[in-house]
Amino acid sequence: MKRFPVRATAAASAFFVATAFSGIGAATAAETRGVGTSKATFSLLSLDLGDGGSLLNLDVLLDDALSTIDSLVATPNAFSKLSPLSLTSSVVPALNGITAGLPSFESRTPGGQGEVKGSAFDFSKGTGNLPLLGALGGVTGLVGGQLIPTSLTSALDDKGARSGLDAALANLSVLNGILSIKSVSNLLGTSAASPASAGDRGVKIDAISVLNLGELLKGLGLDLGNLPLPILNDLLKNLNLLGGLPLAGAPDLLSAVTNLTGVIDGLLKTVSGSSGVVTELVKSVPVVSGLVGTLPTQLPVLGSGGNLTSIIPTTNLLEGTVGNLLTTLQGTLQGLLGGALNLLGNLPLLKLNGADVNVATKAGRTLEDSAATAVANLGGLNVLGIELPGVDLASIGNLVNTVTSTLSGVLSLIDPSLAKLIDLKILNKVTDVSTAGGYNKALASFDVLSLDINPPTGILNVVSGLLNAGKTTSPLALLGGAGVAQPAAALPLIGGNMGLLNGLLNPTGLVGALLEGLSLKIGTMQSTSELAATTVADPAPVSVPVRGSSVTCGAGAAGRTGTDTGAFAAIAAVLAALSLGVRRWNRRPLSAD
């Protein structure tokens, strides 16, 4: 019986010790949580002209957003930011800083505004700096259109970090229409919380038009009006444009022009002989010969009142008739060549009839719970006037092959070395889910359109050879040979906007602005999310986990979580000591009493 107190005390001690250690284990397990980051970026348009954008670097509608609760990345925060325009040039320093005065929009938490709503901004009005462009090669229409930042948001609280953006752009025009986009709708969201980090981007772009054939060639230093007529004829045939010309029964442009210039040349030779007009006409035109044989050598001429006012030689009247005919034929030739240049020169190189794109990423506590997706649809495509149907990502490969072969075939008609002038990618995506450095990571990136112009080696020799060949057979040369006084003024202006750009960048000494290449991206977006599981042994009283430490978010701190094991441990220690004391007391020697 005397050992019962010892056993009871030891059992109670064991119970409290076990409870204390099991409580510690439970608390540690409860604090295994996720910390992560989500980022999203978007650029509507990025244009680099020259090597690495040395001639001109232009970015339109740039935005980025971040949400993080990972202290190894940054102090927990959330933000979304929108910048309308950026422009730089190492060749024309006067362009640098012109856009510095443009407003930007930002929501940031903590340290800023949780919600920002901006009013519409008109690019064409710009700021006090933008009129400076008018003194640089006459380029006044650098960028036009309206930016509408509907709202930017950010938040950081016991639910985690979040950011969002909603913006639109209408009627974007770059360099007076070298590139144009009818409308853009742009939605962004990022979040970082203990269960997962996630990002989402949604963009709708309507009616994108990129360059035209006349501007492309003008950028290489080739004016359509200076190209040899046989090349223009082949282009019209290949693009099925001959039906839009008044060929007067001729099979193609080359035949129609040859017929016209033959008649005009004969008349010019006749008129140049003056007194020999009648003789030449009688010899060459039987109808005229019969007419002249019945006329007197002198003919009366009526005045304005209907009375005979003078008598002139018959040959003078015939010379006037020939002159009128010559003027008519020259006008016909001018209209035919001008119509051909209009048809070719104003063909859009590429025109997208709308694109709808969404990218999303999620990084969870396991790789199986993480994902990266990209979904897109293209509403249709026009390549040099050739209509192609709309597609989605599953069938985009065949469309790109068709577009590439079409462009290659048309450009090789001008010169075989131009077959690979253009490198094109449409609806180009990258998605990846991986694990690295203790993080589960998800990435999704997307380009609606990517176009590179890569002039071949020796492009200056190619340009020079084409211009030399056109000295006698180009539309300009043919009009001059037909007696038109100002051939250049008689033809339509093709690629004028690119001509302005050539003039703006004239300090380079280049023939054309595209000779050093061009890189253009439209609708570039990216979303990245990452999450790492972490164990916090002594967490701070918050719901937002931070790796290795903790941060209080929101208005106040939450209560401590887990089992309070300190009391159990203390009781266990006291009982253990008591048990030992009782055991020793029971073992003491008993007295004789």
pLDDT, tens digit, 9 for 90 and up, residues 186-212: 999 999 998 999 999 899 999 899 989
For residue 114, the model assigns a pLDDT of 94
Mean pLDDT of 102-106: 84
Given CA atoms 412, 417, 421, 426 in this order, what sign does their dihedral have? positive
The number of helix segments (H) and strand segments (E) in the chain equals 13, 23
How does residue 249 score in pLDDT terms, banded at 50, 70 and 90? confident
For residue 477, the model assigns a pLDDT of 95
Instruction: Examine the pLDDT at 290 and tell me if it is beyond 70.
Output: no
Which residues are 529's β-sheet partners? 38, 442
Phi and psi at 111, nearest 5°, equal: 90, 5
Dist. CA 126–CA 445, nearest whole Å: 31
Cis, peptide link before residue 110, omega less than 30° from 0: yes
What angle separates helix 277-284 from helix 286-293, to the nearest 10 degrees?
Answer: 120
For residue 157, the model assigns a pLDDT of 94
For residue 115, the model assigns a pLDDT of 94
pLDDT in tens, 155-191: 999 999 999 999 999 988 887 678 899 999 999 999 9
SS3 112: coil
Instruction: Examine the pLDDT at 20 and tell me if it is beyond 90.
Output: no
Instruction: Examine the pLDDT at 431 and tell me if it is beyond 50.
Output: yes
pLDDT in tens, 85-95: 888 888 777 77
H or E element at residue 216: helix 213-219
Given CA atoms 244, 250, 252, 257 in this order, what sign does their dihedral have? negative
Mean pLDDT of 115-133: 65
Q: How far apart are the first and last CA of the chain?
A: 19
311: which 2 tokens? 């008598």
pLDDT in tens, 548-588: 433 333 333 333 334 444 544 555 454 455 454 545 545 55
Instruction: Examine the pLDDT at 251 and tell me if it is beyond 90.
Output: yes
Q: How much is the pTM?
A: 0.74
